[in-house]
Amino acid sequence: MRVLLVNMPWSPIDVPSLALGILKRSATENRPDTTAEVYHANLEYTDWITERTEFGRDDYEYYALSSYFLGCGDWVFSSALYDDPDWRTEEFTAAMRGKLSASRMRLSHELHRTAPEFVQRIAREIVAWEPDVVGFCSTFQQNTAALAAAKYVKRLAPHLTTVMGGANCDAEQGHAAHRNFPFVDYVVRGEGESAFPRLLSVLEGSGSPRAIPGLCWRDGEGASVANPMATSPLPPAAITSPDYSGYFERLASSAARHWVEPKLVVEGARGCWWGEKHHCTFCGLNGTFMEFRSKTPDRFYDEIMELARKHRVLDMYVVDNILDMGYVKTVLPRIAESGYDLRLHVEIKANMRRSQLQTLADAGMIYVQPGIESLNSRVLDLMDKGVSGCQNVRMLRDGAETGLAVSWNYLHGFPHERDEDYDPVIAQLPALEHLTPPVDLSARIAIERFSPYFNRPELGYDGLRPDVHYRFTYDLPESELYDLAYVFEAPDRGIGEETAKRLNEGIKTWHEAYASSRLTHTDLEDRIVLVSRRRAFDWRTRELTRPAELAAFRLLDQPHTPAALARKITARLGTVVDQAAVRELLKRWTEWGVVFTDAGQYVHLAPAAVNEDLLRLEFRRSMAPVPETPSEEQPGVRLAAPVP
């Protein structure tokens, strides 16, 4: 049996498809008489479109990722799905007016107009390969492109079996795609490495489609049948390793080779160990299976090393929704000692300790996404995140200290949040400008399928409708769109636009100031030297010398309340330091922008300085005499704030 697995636009071009790599291996290993190849139609499209119009890396990234919640990428290929180069251009233009620039609007129209031509071309190439089965992956904004390609393939070769799967095909979404698009013969819902080889056996006359959990198929009368979803996820031992052969060779011959540095995709775990106990209210990422499962440390390490050696690529995305904390003591130290200079991207929980973050950095996991989302504890509680605002700020500080690039989003619009939850955060943003800002301005949350907000109306959202982009993309009644959609329209909740505007003004300024801002500390045992270069604070250096100050600052490496801080300082020094004195100190340090406060806790903001910072400071001190009377206006001067 010949199987061709198709990766349509807008799959990212800098990485191979993990899903298709898994299916390729599972098909060939479970069925020795099967050959399987991946057709990189996303790269084909890159080469095709760059010959016809001005189109670059940023354009591809926009339609693949940045415009996901606008649906621009899916609308582009809706013209091919419905055989109409002008498919709903007026509706798209009206909906996107004010959201797209004039140049982006023009390009979207041009891509939309030419999409049918491209899909016709690749359908001919797919059929010329003479496969028995053609499988299409649909994740993020691949849905209309995959459906259109299946339609054109079926039109050219009705005898070919078409199969669709991927994240857009989970649960109700997959059944909706199957019953509304008859040119898709089968839809695999859920984890495919077991179901897909079983389907291939059925196609060769062995077994019944009724026996495959989650499969959508058609009965003798052509009616769509959806088997019940699997009741339990695959065990970790059954999670197949991907086969990426062919991708890097194809990229090397593509125009995209000049745009991107190729990366590998590795998978250590599925599900979310936090979400099993506390499902974040806005998150729909894990679909029908939240249960956390991870590969053994030996297996995960061996997979990483094998992929790096085979493809000679050191950049890797770890696609786990959350890092298995056991790997911090098992897999990561082995990677650090391997001699491979890996550069890994990974999602973690924001309350990891500095020593754990250092282990990540030592292993090459230099890009982390800690799921910060907010700096206010009350809002974080509404999300059920299990971290505090101070812990999230500590994450930013410790990420800077350990050399990790922290990628994070700021979200707002949660039911029951209040404007006053944001006021103290907005006021303190200038103190954070030396730390990594969120990747973009704060965004109002979207309601995602599978999230608690979608499944539990009592949390604040009811009467949900499919987002507007589904309505100008598909020719389906709203009842069908409801099952097909992943993102839903909902009434605004939480803070008003005035507060959101002030928050985003602060974040915009943070972005502008970040490159030139700095706050560090150097602990010299008998003193702590602080160095600041931030637009909102006019001091440049400060020294802490009094024992109570030194103890307080060191304790504020972790979040503390004033009461706990006073108690621990007293215990360390053997001298009573009362709460009033501590509060006065914390007030002064807040004014200096040295600490961040939220929900009654405080944490200091100064990453430890590298040696060059201290050398620069000592050079400045040696060049200017210290006046007898300390003055806040003179940089480089010893300034100690007394604590009784």
Q: Show which of 485, 514, 543 is a domain's final residue.
A: 514
The answer to whether residues 83 and 224 belong to one domain is: yes
Asked if residue 636 is part of any domain, the answer here is no
Asked if residue 637 is part of any domain, the answer here is no
CB 183 within 8 A of CB 150: yes
Q: Show which of 473, 499, 514 is a domain's final residue.
A: 514
Asked if residue 273 is part of any domain, the answer here is yes
Q: Would you say residue 639 has pLDDT above 90? A: no
Domain membership of residue 607 as a residue range: 519-623
Overall domain count for the chain: 3
Whole-number pLDDT of residue 289: 87
The answer to whether residues 531 and 465 belong to one domain is: no
CATH of the domain at 565: 1.10.10.10
Whole-number pLDDT of residue 286: 84
Q: Which of 406, 350, 397 is nearest to 557 (CA)?
A: 397
Q: In the predicted model, what is the mean pLDDT of residues 522-537?
A: 97
User: Residues of the chain with pLDDT > 90: what percent?
Assistant: 93
CB-count exposure of residue 268 (10 Å: 0-12, 13-18, 19+): buried
Asked if residue 352 is part of any domain, the answer here is yes
The answer to whether residues 327 and 289 belong to one domain is: yes
Angstrom CA distances, 627 to 624, 631, 636, stand at 9, 8, 10
Asked if residue 492 is part of any domain, the answer here is yes
The answer to whether residues 228 and 339 belong to one domain is: no
Q: Show which of 467, 497, 514 is a domain's final residue.
A: 514
Asked if residue 258 is part of any domain, the answer here is no
The answer to whether residues 221 and 352 belong to one domain is: no
Asked if residue 557 is part of any domain, the answer here is yes
| Pairwise CA distance, residues 639 & 319, whole Å | 48
Those residues whose C-beta lies under 8 Å from the C-beta of residue 178, and which sit 6 or more positions away, are: 164, 184, 186, 187, 216, 217, 224, 226
Q: In the predicted model, what is the mean pLDDT of residues 583-609?
A: 98
Q: Rg (Cα) of the chain, in Å, rounded?
A: 28
The answer to whether residues 526 and 503 belong to one domain is: no
The answer to whether residues 111 and 141 belong to one domain is: yes
| Pairwise CA distance, residues 519 & 534, whole Å | 8
Q: Would you say residue 414 has pLDDT above 50? A: yes
pLDDT band at 611 (very low <50, low <70, confident <90, very high): low
CATH of the domain at 432: 3.80.30.20
Mean pLDDT of the chain: 93
What DSSP letter does each residue of 603-634 carry, written as one string?
Answer: EE--PBPPHHHHHHHHHHHHHSPPPSS--TTS
The answer to whether residues 401 and 529 belong to one domain is: no
The answer to whether residues 587 and 617 belong to one domain is: yes
Whole-number pLDDT of residue 366: 87
pTM comes to 0.92
Element spanning 433, H or E: none
The answer to whether residues 72 and 181 belong to one domain is: yes
Q: Would you say residue 635 has pLDDT above 60? A: no
The answer to whether residues 364 and 442 belong to one domain is: yes
The answer to whether residues 279 and 334 belong to one domain is: yes
Tell the residue number behind the tokens 């040119």, with chain if given: 183
Neighbours of 306 (CB within 10 A): 11
Asked if residue 208 is part of any domain, the answer here is yes
